[in-house]
Amino acid sequence: MTVVTSSIAPPEGVFVPVPTFFKSSPVPPALQAPLDIEAQIQHSIHLAKNGIRGLVLLGSTGEAIHLSREERFELISGVRKGLTEAGFLDYPIMAGVLTNSVDEALEWLADAERAGAQWGLVLAPGYFGAAANQENLQEWYTLVADSSPIPILIYNYPGVTNNIIVSLETYTKLAAHPKIVGCKMSHGNVSHHVQVSLDPTIDHSKFRVFSGFGQQLGPIVLFGAAGVIDGLAAIYPRTVSRLFDLAAKRPVTPEALSEIQLLQFAVSRAEEMVGKWGIVGIKEGIYQVLKIGNLQGGRLPLKGRMPKGEWESWSVAMDAMKKLEEV
């Protein structure tokens, strides 16, 4: 299924980097458990119904590197079909592109467009991260964007790319490309988020800045960022979305600021679990709170669940989030 797109920026708001759901056990002769498309669709519809502005499928949290080309297409097309049948026509979907080759990145993007994604979230090529200078990064992204069938966002995640940091100057130059429509910064440098969000030489209606951390939501959105692509929102979508809505509204009244501070504290505290446990923790939370999926974790080497009693040890933070989610 193909969704007609143009080079427009993704909408502002909270996106969720959804984990990929797998069945509990392999079906011989397969060595690993297959995709659980039914659970994937169930979770996606829940998010769409509860304030989430869009999905990131097959990003880092989605374990795209653990899936085959056929599985990646099946997942995107399955979610697109499920959302459409549930009444969420043209619901925003970004597809992760986690490969270092220009040609292979374009292959991923072509598949994503054919499956129904409107944007590609393209990871900085980091295998030779220590040797990658900013000029080469700019050329790499320009080559990909020039030939991509869908608009792309720059994905800077130093933790999985040998500590590549996309420079402020690189963002400014690439933001001028008509098919590069935003970025996701998955690092703790709030100054970079704010500087790119406020750069007067960038057209911010066409280039949107997202953080990968809900801990930064309030601070960066108050200073012009477009939103977050946040893992905790996979568990508590209404609360994280409420925090965004308050932070994005202008003017910010004293009453709204008080609620922003309350929500940001609760979100940041709960994000500590996501920071510690990553994909395994997000999947555990989805199962414990939403009863979707299972406790098998991801694919090797991410298979397994939290140790016994670990989820319960986060009860203060998670109980607070649960109460906020029910308001």
Q: Return the active site residues.
A: 184
* Half-sphere exposure of residue 141: CA atoms within 13 angstroms, side-chain side: 34
Closest to 182 in 3D by CA, of 202, 200, 165, 162: 202
Q: Is the peptide bond before 29 cis (omega within 30 degrees of 0)?
A: yes
E strands, 32-101, where? Answer: 54-57, 93-97
Amino acid at 32: Q
Check if the beta carbon of residue 191 is closer than 8 Å to that of residue 219. no
Closest to 240 in 3D by CA, of 210, 223, 258, 215: 215
Task: Give per-residue burial for 175-212: e unless 16+ CB within 10 Å, then b.
Answer: bebebbbbbbbbbeebebbbbbbebeebebebbbbbbb
Q: What single-letter DSSP state applies at residue 169?
A: H
DSSP symbols for 108-145: HHHHHHHHT-SEEEEE---TTGGG--HHHHHHHHHHHH
Task: Give the separation between CA 180 and CA 154, rounded to whole angstroms.
Answer: 7
Check if the beta carbon of residue 107 is closer than 8 Å to that of residue 147. no
To 10 degrees, what angle do helices 134-147 and 102-115 make? Answer: 40
In three-state secondary structure terms, 153 is: strand
Radius of gyration of the chain (CA): 19
